[in-house]
Copies of this chain bind each other. A is one copy, B any other.
Amino acid sequence: MENLISLWQSTGLYNFTIGQVFMMLVGFLLLYLAIKKGFEPLLLLPIGFGAILSNIPVAGIAEEGGLLYYLYFGIKLGLFPLLIFMGVGAMTDFGPMLANPKTLLLGAAAQVGIFAALLGALALNIVPGLEFSLKEAAAIGIIGGADGPTAIYVASKLAPDLLGAIAVAAYSYMALVPLIQPPIMRALTTEAERKIEMQQLRHVSKTEKIIFPLALLTLSILLLPSATPLVGAFAFGNLMNTSGVVDRLSQTAQNELINIVTIFLGLSVGSKLSAEAFLQVKTLGILSLGAVAFAIGTASGVMMAKLMNRFSDTPINPLIGAAGVSAVPMSARVANKVGLESNPHNFLLMHAMGPNVAGVIGSAVAAGVLLSLIK
């Protein structure tokens, strides 16, 4: 009898708080989006599952002694995002960007979204009850970088309490890129601009691809050492791939290692979706600002392309500017798709891959500035 009462008092039904129930529903929603809607499933499925597990009463899976508590150290110490960045680096082909380097500027322009969201977060301090510090605003802004590992890395350093909401916002909007970007792209360009065909890209030699990650790292060392953890991991992964002499390491970095870390990272991020941390007005602010950041980033990229078109002798289709937000490779695909609507023979995919990977570099640089200037 005592046992039965003790058992009843140890059930979830007895111990639930309303916040936990709500956060589990958020977890299930993420699973639904990942599985049924195909939203970034590689991250949102583990994140959603982690959210459910960490909100189970009594079990303490995200507390000391529990699985997610220990896995979270991989984020806390900054290991997981950097290892993912290394794997992504090994998967990335800088060829299209090297063939047309001026598209790097599109990747720069799109980072305006980061700082727009940062300023927006600070402006929201007007709203009574909402309070964002500079650190928090910066961590929110980085959602606009449209790059998961960068957002998680910066948030883990500047605002670990907001990590869950920021990661969810970043990956959700990356999944929503095909819905968010096209209307903005169409609104800011004329039919004639969207029809612009671009010159075929030149061939890029293996040597250039080997030297590039080293040049990128060197520049980052000279100008912005605070960005070198991110840039360095990325360049290391890329060099393993392009050098061609350590294929077995490159393959492992791109496959098993990144897969293992992705599982652990997703579950750990989910463990930060606790009721106390997530069920706050702040979260609504973060979600809104994230959307603003993506929209402004997209617009800035497109406008920059239009500006460059005035001064460039070779034509640039402004649609590829939208790919500057990163969200690799989705936003490049979106540029390609919107371009095909206006001109069915105009394949922009390869041209958009340049600004797309430039956007990754751009947001790593912006992250470096934020990490360096905000104490």
Nearest Cβ in chain B — how far from A311, in angstroms? 27
Q: At the interface, yes or no: A178 with Cβ under 8 Å from chain B? A: no
Contact indicator B236/A49 (Cβ below 8 Å): yes
Contact indicator A239/B49 (Cβ below 8 Å): yes
Q: At the interface, yes or no: A58 with Cβ under 8 Å from chain B? A: yes
Contact indicator B57/A225 (Cβ below 8 Å): yes
Q: At the interface, yes or no: A288 with Cβ under 8 Å from chain B? A: no
List the B side residues contacting A249 at CB < 8 Å.
42, 45-46, 259, 262-263
28 contacts between A and B (CB under 8 A): A3-B373, A7-B369, A10-B226, A10-B372, A13-B223, A35-B243, A41-B246, A42-B248, A45-B240, A45-B245, A45-B249, A46-B249, A49-B232, A52-B221, A53-B228, A53-B236, A56-B221, A58-B372, A59-B228, A59-B229, A66-B78, A66-B229, A67-B79, A67-B229, A67-B233, A236-B267, A251-B259, A252-B256
Nearest Cβ in chain B — how far from A209, in angstroms? 12
Q: At the interface, yes or no: A82 with Cβ under 8 Å from chain B? A: yes
Closest to A39 in B: B245
Nearest Cβ in chain B — how far from A318, in angstroms? 31
List the B side residues contacting A245 at CB < 8 Å.
34-35, 38, 41, 45
Contact indicator B243/A253 (Cβ below 8 Å): no
Contact indicator B225/A6 (Cβ below 8 Å): no
Q: At the interface, yes or no: A29 with Cβ under 8 Å from chain B? A: no
Chain A: interface size category: 35 or more
Residues of A near any B CB (own CB < 8 A):
3, 6-7, 10-13, 15, 24, 28, 31, 34-35, 38, 41-42, 45-46, 49, 52-53, 56-59, 61, 65-67, 70, 77-79, 82, 210, 214, 217, 221-226, 228-229, 232-233, 236, 239-240, 243, 245-246, 248-249, 251-253, 255-257, 259-260, 262-263, 267, 369, 372-373
A183 to B214: give the CA distance in the assembly, Å.
Answer: 37
Closest to A50 in B: B236
Closest to A64 in B: B77
A335 to B49: give the CA distance in the assembly, Å.
Answer: 35
Contact indicator B263/A259 (Cβ below 8 Å): no
Contact indicator B263/A260 (Cβ below 8 Å): no
List the B side residues contacting A267 at CB < 8 Å.
236
Nearest Cβ in chain B — how far from A251, in angstroms? 8
The winner among A34, A52, A59, A248 for most chain B CB atoms within 10 A is: A59
Nearest Cβ in chain B — how far from A61, in angstroms? 6
Contact indicator B259/A260 (Cβ below 8 Å): no
Nearest Cβ in chain B — how far from A323, in angstroms? 24
Nearest Cβ in chain B — how far from A214, in angstroms? 7
A198 to B79: give the CA distance in the assembly, Å.
Answer: 53
List the B side residues contacting A243 at CB < 8 Å.
34-35, 41, 45
